[in-house]
Structure 1
Amino acid sequence: MSGSRVTSQSVRYRERLWVPWWWWPLGLGVATLIAKEVNMGVRTLPPWLPYAVLGAVAAGVLLWLGRTEVRVIADGSAVEVWAGQAHLPASVVRRSAEIPRTAKSAALGRQLDPAAYVLHRPWVGPLVLLVLDDPDDPTPYWLISARHPERVLSALRS
C-alpha cells in the first residue's frame, strides 16, 4: 500500500452555513421579474430562455453563498477547527466563547481587531470566538459564524 495513508479522522461537528430558506423564493422571484422584463424588451428570444437562464443564475448564486462549512475534526488526539478553507489546531486555542446575536455588532465593529480572522455570514446570528495563543501567528483570535456555537465549542472541548 504505497502512497496511501490510513487515518482515524472523525468529524465531531459539521455545519453548512446555508442562506435562509426564504431567500430562495425571493431570489427566484427577482429572477422571474427580470426575465419578464427581458422577454418584453427582446422579442427575438424564445420566451422560456430568460426564465431558464436567470433562474439557474439565481439558484447558482444562492448555492454559492451557502457553500461555507464549519467543522471540528479529530484525528487521533489532535483536534482541528475548519472555517471555510482555513483550519486551526485546537492546541493553540487559549480561550473560547459564544458571541450572541445581540453582541455581534460590537464584536464585528468597534471591538474588532483588524488582524483577526473573521468568517462572517450576515444571515447567521451568533458567532464563535477562539482566542489564540500561538507566538508564530499574528492572528489574535478567530470569529466564526455558527448557528449552534455551543455545539462547536462542545466538539472542540471534548
Structure 2
Amino acid sequence: MATTQPGTHVVYQEKLRPSIGMWALIIMGAASTALMVLPVWKLGIIILPVITFVLLAWWLTSLTITIIVTERQLFVGDAHIDRRFISQAYAYDAEAARQARGTGLDARAFLRLRPWAKLAVRIDIDDASDPTPYWLVSSRNPKEFATALSS
C-alpha cells in the first residue's frame, strides 16, 4: 500500500490483465494468417504472423484495466470519481454479473467490462449533477473491491 499525499493512501488496487485464453486466441489468430498467404507468398508465412501477433498483442494489452481505490477517490482506468459520491458497492458473482450486463443493465450506466473477467462490482453513484446511476466494473476480486469502497 502506497501513500503519496494526505488522503491518497491506496486502500485497494487491482490490475485486470487479459487471461491466458485471450492470449491463446491471438496466437491462433496470428498463426492462421500464415495459412492465408501460404499459396501466394512464401516469406509471408513468417512475416505476416509476426506482424499480426505484435498488433493483436498491443491491442489486447491496451484493454488492461487498472483499478485503484484511495481514501478519497476511485480510479478505473482513465475514469475517476470522488468516493463521497459513491453510496453503495455490490460484489457480483458470475451469474449476477451476467444478468447485470444483460437484462438488468441501465443504458445510462458507466461500464468497464472485460470478457475474461466474469465477476463484477456495481458501484451506485449518488450525485444530483451526474445522470450516471452506477458504474459496473469487471473484477477478479469483487468482494475485496466492494469492501474497500464501503469502508
Q: Normalised by the shorter chain, which TM-score bucket?
A: 0.7 to 0.9
Q: Does 1:25 align with 2:35?
A: no
Structure 1 segments of 4+ aligned residues over 6 angstroms from their partners: none
Distance 1:46 1:146 in 2: 39
- TM-score using structure 1 length: 0.81
Contact 1:32 1:51 in 2 (8 A): yes
**Offset of residue 47 of structure 1:** 5.1
Q: Does 1:133 align with 2:126?
A: yes
* Of 127, 130, 145, the match for 2:138: 145
* Of 58, 61, 65, the match for 1:60: 58
Are residues 94 and 38 of structure 1, via their aligned partners in 2, closer, same or farther at CA, if it must alter by over 3 Å?
Answer: same
- For structure 2, list consecutive stretches of 5 or more residues without a partner in the other structure: none
Larger of the two Rg values belongs to structure: 1
Q: For this pair of structures, how many residues does the alignment match?
A: 147
Percent identity of equivalent pairs: 29
Q: CA offsets per residue over residues 115-146 of structure 1, 9 Å max, x none?
A: 11111112211111111221121111111111
Q: CA offsets per residue over residues 85-114 of structure 1, 9 Å max, x none?
A: 111111111122112111123212222221
Contact 2:89 2:150 in 1 (8 A): no
Q: Does 1:99 align with 2:92?
A: yes
Distance 1:100 1:35 in 2: 40
* Of 59, 69, 77, the match for 2:66: 69
- TM-score using structure 2 length: 0.84
Contact 1:73 1:80 in 2 (8 A): yes
Distance 1:51 1:125 in 2: 30
- For structure 1, list consecutive stretches of 5 or more residues without a partner in the other structure: 1-5
Aligned CA-pair RMSD: 2.0
Are residues 25 and 111 of structure 1, via their aligned partners in 2, closer, same or farther at CA, if it must alter by over 3 Å?
Answer: closer
- 3-state SS, counterpart of residue 153 of structure 1: helix
Are residues 117 and 38 of structure 1, via their aligned partners in 2, closer, same or farther at CA, if it must alter by over 3 Å?
Answer: same
